[in-house]
Amino acid sequence: MREYRERHPDRAEPAVRWLPFQLNPDMPPEGMPRQDYIARKWGPGRGNEIYSRVAGVGNSVGIPFAFEKIRVQPNTLDAHRLMYYAERAGDQDALAEELFRGYFLEGANLTDKAALADLAARAGMDRAEVAAYLESGEDRDVILKADLEARESGIHGVPFFIFNRKVAVSGAQEAEALLGAMEQALESRDS
């Protein structure tokens, strides 16, 4: 975004929207032990190998991943509901940062509604209102439908970026690749 602003100071800042996509849509509501999940996904004993590569990249950009703190592989339906709620309040980016920080740096259990409410409060949202929303089950069907639509449109993993509904980029990419996709989307909009 910084590079985009530098290259295009005369253009409006792009809007960022976080859309629902569950990596594990069949995860039990309470999640599962992280070690069991890792063993099923990558095979027994491979967690450290996978984590060390990701941690190395994280460290290179100032993100001190703490995978050893993660005890629960979550069902993220409520976290996605909360992001949807935050979008209406204009707090989606702040909440996304707190969810990522809570999970990847602190090992927060994202299936725990109280933990989600705490993270939302750290993002500047009203904790009591968030807790009531999470208990209500409101927007559950909206999130499940959006998640299914993403899958049906060919999205199979995260991160996944869509620029101006025209250009898609899958996977973790260098800033230059994302900037190129943003500029391609601008060109298609302007033509």
The ranges assigned to domains in the chain are 17-153
| Residue 105 scores a pLDDT above 90 | yes
Considering the domain 17-153 in this protein, what is its CATH number?
A: 3.40.30.10
Half-sphere exposure of 22 (CA within 13 A, CB side): 26
Write down the pLDDT at residue 61. Answer: 86
pLDDT band (50, 70, 90) for residue 58: confident
Average pLDDT over residues 90-102: 94
Q: What is the dihedral of CA 175, 177, 183, 185, to 10 degrees?
A: -120
Average pLDDT over residues 137-166: 92
- Least reliable range by pLDDT among 7-21, 68-82, 92-106: 7-21
| Residue 63 scores a pLDDT above 60 | yes
Place of tokens 């725990």: 112
pLDDT band (50, 70, 90) for residue 48: confident
Name the residue among 95, 73, 70, 97 with its Cα closest to residue 82.
95
Query: What does pLDDT average to over the chain?
Result: 92
- Tens-digit pLDDT profile for residues 23-42: 999 999 999 999 999 999 88
Spatial CB neighbours of 2, under 8 Å, sequence gap ≥ 6: none
Q: Distance between CA atoms of 104 and 147, rounded to whole angstroms? A: 22
pLDDT band (50, 70, 90) for residue 189: low
| Residue 188 scores a pLDDT above 80 | no
- Tens-digit pLDDT profile for residues 177-187: 889 999 898 88
CA 182 to mean position of chain CA atoms: 19
| Residue 190 scores a pLDDT above 80 | no
